[in-house]
Amino acid sequence: MTLTPKIAFIKASWHADIVDQAYTGFTDQLNADNAGYEVTSFTVPGAFEMPLLAKRLAKKGYDAVVAAALVVDGGIYRHDFVAAAVVDGLMSAQLETDVPMFSVSLTPHHFHANAEHVEFYTGHFVKKGAEAAQAVQQVLSLEI
């Protein structure tokens, strides 16, 4: 690991107004903890594109990769297929590169873009982003 840990934060742009809140929660928590990490954000079209970028960023020298997405049932295909592919892809990428990967991807069964759901998931992504920041710090502090 570098002296100043480099963290890549990947955000899927579907429902960006909600998903971007994970980045806010993540960086706010790191700042509150005085972590001193260098965080760079990257945006991809959707969740399905996250594992490949995560693997490439790990190979470029990032010490950890965080990936955030809101994978919803759009009625055309089953969202659980996409969610499983993303988590499996991130797991494979971290095992192949030896760089820890963290998922802040939520897959609600019944998401509707109404005010109540948008408000709930916006707040939930802030919380999940903060939890990811704590997890990154814990994993990177391990002496192995």
Which positions are catalytic?
Answer: 78
- State the residue for tokens 């001193």: 36
Q: How many CA atoms lie within 13 A of 123 on its CB side?
A: 5
Composition of the chain by helix, strand, coil, percent to 5: 50, 20, 30
CB 37 within 8 A of CB 6: yes
